[in-house]
Chains A and B, each alone.
Chain A
Amino acid sequence: MTGTGRETTRGAARERGSARWEARDGARRVTEGSPGGIVLEIAGLCVDYGDGPDAVHAVVDVDLAVHRGEVIGVAGESGSGKSTLAYAATRLLRPPGIITGGDAWFYPEAGEASSRLNLLDASAETLREIRWAELAIVFQSAMHALNPVLSVEVQLTDTLAAHRPEMSAAARRERAGELLEMVGINPDRLSSFPHELSGGMRQRVMIAMALALEPQVVIMDEPTTALDVVTQREILEQVIELRDRYGFSVIFITHDLSLLLELADTIAIMYAGRLVEVGPAKRLFRSPRHPYTLGLLSSFPPLHGEVRALSGIPGSPPDLRRVPSGCPFHPRCRFSLPRCGEERPQLVAVSADGERRVACLLHDGRQSPPAELGNPDAGSVPVAPMAAWGPDGPDRSLPPLDDTALSRPEEGVTPHA
């Protein structure tokens, strides 16, 4: 590619970007329906740590699409690349992280490919405009994510000041107060400093901050890991309630698959920097297709229903500098075939509707998959993402603890539907 060509496209992208952000208004959301088109599409994303010969390939060729209003859960062990994926897509990954390939398309108008914008090619200014206005992040530890020496008010209003310069200081302050109220905190707390708030309140402040500009996508990086179980639950309920009210999409990163079981519409499982299985949450739980997913599902006790034997996964995650050949999971896989050590499986559709994808040679049709990985799947029944949440009702909050109707992984054992 020649230099001039790039210049031109760059300029065009910037123009397109800024025009869009200036022209938009808040009314858009109300008119849109629930499961919408794509808002964020990650395609072939590759991320390295380091730029020398020792570079570690932390994310390899990941494809993932986020739909409007969808909660997509990304799960995996430590070092599986799930956080790296999310940070790289927003280009917030820190040195020595480097994006070495792929695209991250953002669709300002969900589903409209004509207006999409590649975040990986966007200029600093365009990205700065999109960030938080359209893509906000809630961090794992609000204790670390809030600046300890700035008041809550300053941290809420500076976002508004950066993105809505037309707002007066008084209006910004008022809006900051509203945001606190929205997450159930008294606006008096605006003048508080992070250390004066409890852990749960800090995380609520983070959520309020994330929603300050009504973004389309909120990335939540283990947002409740540092909290106790009760607070964790309250926060998750609030997130879901706000999602229903404002219709943003959530990319929920966690190592805790049991959380996703209650929360996510779609689940993506990562292993050694690769996506190994993607599918609608409920179907993935009932009938895991990848041996690793199966292992994850049987390594924690179900929150509801009967007690099962926990088996876990033997071995430990691979060293990213020495990823096993072929399928990276094969040394730990109890179903592994001789060729698993040689052929690298690709993520391919395994259900009739194409919604379920798995990267596993067991499903390549050359043999029938083991019984544990071959449970019937409700593949022919189209499942809208939000339907996974249960009955469509005014209240879409988390189900109460004793509700056993939802999300029982063991339901998959006895064929269902």
Chain B
Amino acid sequence: MSYLGRRVGFYLVTIWAAITINFLIPRLMPGNPVQLLIARLQGQGTLSTRAIHALSVAFGLETHQSLVAQYWHYWVQLFHGNLGLSVTYYPSTVVNVIATALPWTLALVGISTVIAFVIGTGIGILAAWRRGSWLEAALPISTFFTAIPYFWLGLVAVAVFGVVLGWFPLSGGLGQGMAVAFNGTFISSALYHAALPAVTIVVTSMAGWMIGMRNMMVTTLGEDYVLVAQAKGLSERRVMMTYAARNAILPSIASFALSLSFVVSGAILVEIVFSYPGIGYVLFQAVQNEDYPLMEAIFLIITLAVLVANFVADLAYVFLDPRTRQEA
């Protein structure tokens, strides 16, 4: 089986595992809080009876069904794209809520992750190439940035650049009363609102890529093929990029999964700090309102997005490393 084939197989198993975890959590936790939620909602009369029935089916309160039958039912619902109704945004469906929020997150987190990866990796290459330089001396300091809680840096950024200096908006993804439309005003307003959250994500996630790349680069510079490239009289630039960096970046791409999981977790919190209308903020709303269907669906969708991103990283890896292309 080819490398990519194996990876796709792995992702399918992971999706299955995520869905199964999602199915099991409410059913295995002691004292299902959904029961309390339903009791409360019934008293308030905010949800229709049908919606409440759907909730109890989704969260395993229909005890007359066997676990296997519930599991089957769960999958059938999933395949119909039916993830239930949101308590917070009633009567919107969970799918609708996510569909509105997802593009914001994809744009913010996607773009800032790419920027952080490119800058961090670039600095890492230079720090390894110029050992003993100030860049390398700054390396231990950069560990500080890997250890900062994203959301706290977000808070500080809001306080300094939003409250004190007033350069950037304090919250939201768009100016007051603006609607999503693809024109200049919309784009500039969206960029203006995204700037501070994006910088927060870039600053905190960059150092991780940088240290990883620097260490791999230093290790790679010790390889014989780099020495050969130097012995061949190739230009310094070619040795650095084609022989050292090109090889050193492979582990960075291979460990993309782990790093991305961190970045996404951090980005969720950044969205909350900035009340940015993405998935993270919606998740926060769901947590505040004990909106279990929404929470579970967001967990699934984030997992799915991370898997897709990983698959892209795999494609890049296959492109960069011929050893993965051979049939095993």
A interface residue numbers (CB < 8 A to B): 90, 92, 94-95, 127-133, 135-137, 139, 141, 144-151, 158-159, 162-163, 193, 195-196, 209
CB < 8 Å neighbour of A148 from B229, B242, B247: B247
Partner-contacting stretch, out of B164-172, B260-268, B315-323: B315-323
When each residue 196-230 of chain B gets 1 if its CB lies under 8 Å from chain A and 0 otherwise, what string results? 00000000000000000000000000111101111
Contact B323 A128 (CB under 8 A): no
Contact B228 A128 (CB under 8 A): no
The residues of B that contact A162 with a CB separation of less than 8 Å are 232-235, 238
Contact B322 A149 (CB under 8 A): yes
Contact B247 A147 (CB under 8 A): yes
Contact B233 A147 (CB under 8 A): no
When each residue 293-328 of chain B gets 1 if its CB lies under 8 Å from chain A and 0 otherwise, what string results? 000000000000000000000000000111100100
The CA of A145 and the CA of B242, in the complex, are separated in Å by 14
Contact A147 B225 (CB under 8 A): yes
The CA of A132 and the CA of B228, in the complex, are separated in Å by 10
Most buried by A among B231, B235, B242, B321: B231
CB distance from B128 to the nearest CB of A (A): 12
The residues of B that contact A150 with a CB separation of less than 8 Å are 242-243, 246
Contact A196 B326 (CB under 8 A): yes
Most buried by B among A130, A150, A163: A150
The residues of B that contact A196 with a CB separation of less than 8 Å are 326
Determine if B155 is an interface residue (Cβ-Cβ < 8 Å). no
The CA of A163 and the CA of B227, in the complex, are separated in Å by 17
Chain B interface residue number, banded: 20 to 34
Given A94-B227, A137-B228; 9 other pairs, CB 8 A cutoff: A90-B231, A127-B233, A131-B232, A131-B233, A133-B233, A149-B247, A150-B242, A162-B232, A162-B238
Determine if B126 is an interface residue (Cβ-Cβ < 8 Å). no
CB distance from A93 to the nearest CB of B (A): 9
Contact B232 A149 (CB under 8 A): no
Question: Beyond A94-B227, A144-B223, A196-B326, is A149–B233 a contact (Cβ under 8 Å)?
Answer: no
Would you mind naming 22 contact pairs between A and B with Cβ atoms under 8 Å apart?
A92-B227, A92-B230, A128-B234, A131-B233, A132-B231, A147-B228, A147-B243, A148-B225, A148-B247, A148-B321, A148-B323, A149-B246, A149-B247, A149-B320, A149-B323, A159-B232, A162-B233, A162-B238, A163-B233, A193-B322, A195-B323, A196-B326
The residues of A that contact B4 with a CB separation of less than 8 Å are none
Contact A128 B235 (CB under 8 A): yes
Contact A139 B233 (CB under 8 A): no
Least CB separation from B250: chain A residue? A149
Least CB separation from A159: chain B residue? B232
The CA of A210 and the CA of B233, in the complex, are separated in Å by 12
Question: Beyond A131-B233, A137-B231, is A195–B326 a contact (Cβ under 8 Å)?
Answer: yes
CB distance from B301 to the nearest CB of A (A): 35
The residues of B that contact A127 with a CB separation of less than 8 Å are 233
The CA of A136 and the CA of B320, in the complex, are separated in Å by 28
CB < 8 Å neighbour of A136 from B224, B231, B242, B322: B231
Contact A158 B225 (CB under 8 A): no
The CA of A196 and the CA of B327, in the complex, are separated in Å by 11
Closest 3 CB pairs of A and B: A131-B233, A144-B224, A147-B225
CB distance from B127 to the nearest CB of A (A): 15
The residues of A that contact B238 with a CB separation of less than 8 Å are 158, 162
Q: Which B residues from 164 to 189 make CB contacts under 8 A with A?
A: none
CB < 8 Å neighbour of A92 from B231, B250, B326: B231
The residues of B that contact A144 with a CB separation of less than 8 Å are 223-225
The residues of A that contact B225 with a CB separation of less than 8 Å are 144-148
CB distance from B322 to the nearest CB of A (A): 4
The residues of B that contact A90 with a CB separation of less than 8 Å are 231
CB distance from B277 to the nearest CB of A (A): 42
Least CB separation from B230: chain A residue? A92
The CA of A158 and the CA of B250, in the complex, are separated in Å by 22
The CA of A159 and the CA of B234, in the complex, are separated in Å by 7
Contact B326 A128 (CB under 8 A): no
The residues of A that contact B227 with a CB separation of less than 8 Å are 92, 94, 139, 145
CB distance from A214 to the nearest CB of B (A): 14
The residues of B that contact A92 with a CB separation of less than 8 Å are 227, 230-231
The residues of A that contact B322 with a CB separation of less than 8 Å are 148-149, 151, 193, 195
Q: Which B residues from 69 to 97 make CB contacts under 8 A with A?
A: none
The residues of B that contact A94 with a CB separation of less than 8 Å are 222, 227
Question: Beyond A94-B222, A131-B233, A149-B320, is A139–B326 a contact (Cβ under 8 Å)?
Answer: no
The CA of A147 and the CA of B247, in the complex, are separated in Å by 8
Contact A132 B232 (CB under 8 A): yes
Least CB separation from B224: chain A residue? A144
The residues of B that contact A158 with a CB separation of less than 8 Å are 232, 234, 238, 242
CB distance from B132 to the nearest CB of A (A): 9
Least CB separation from B243: chain A residue? A147
Question: Beyond A94-B222, A141-B224, A145-B224, is A193–B230 a contact (Cβ under 8 Å)?
Answer: no
Contact A139 B232 (CB under 8 A): no
Least CB separation from A137: chain B residue? B231
Least CB separation from B244: chain A residue? A147
